[in-house]
Amino acid sequence: MEISTVGIDLAKTWFQLHAVGKSGKTVLKKKLSRGQMIEFFANLPTCLIGMEA
């Protein structure tokens, strides 16, 4: 799974992630808590990140 771009929908408790690969196809969709977000991004290679609140 090679992620090139991650979109994040920020909310009070939960965060929705949508990640796509270089081809533009969906690679990952997840709902994470704040603690899970820190762990997820700590283990993710460099990529483009967009946020929406």
Element (H, E) at 5: strand 5-9
Asked whether the beta carbons of 48 and 5 are under 8 A apart, the reply is: yes
Work out the number of other CB atoms within 10 angstroms of the CB of residue 37: 16
pLDDT > 80? residue 1: no
Q: Which CATH class is domain 5-52?
A: alpha beta
State the average pLDDT over residues 1-8: 93
Domain boundaries, the chain: 5-52
Tokens of 36: 């899970």
pLDDT > 80? residue 31: yes
Asked whether the beta carbons of 9 and 50 are under 8 A apart, the reply is: no
State the average pLDDT over residues 27-46: 94
Q: How confident is the model at residue 53 (pLDDT cuts 50, 70, 90)?
A: confident
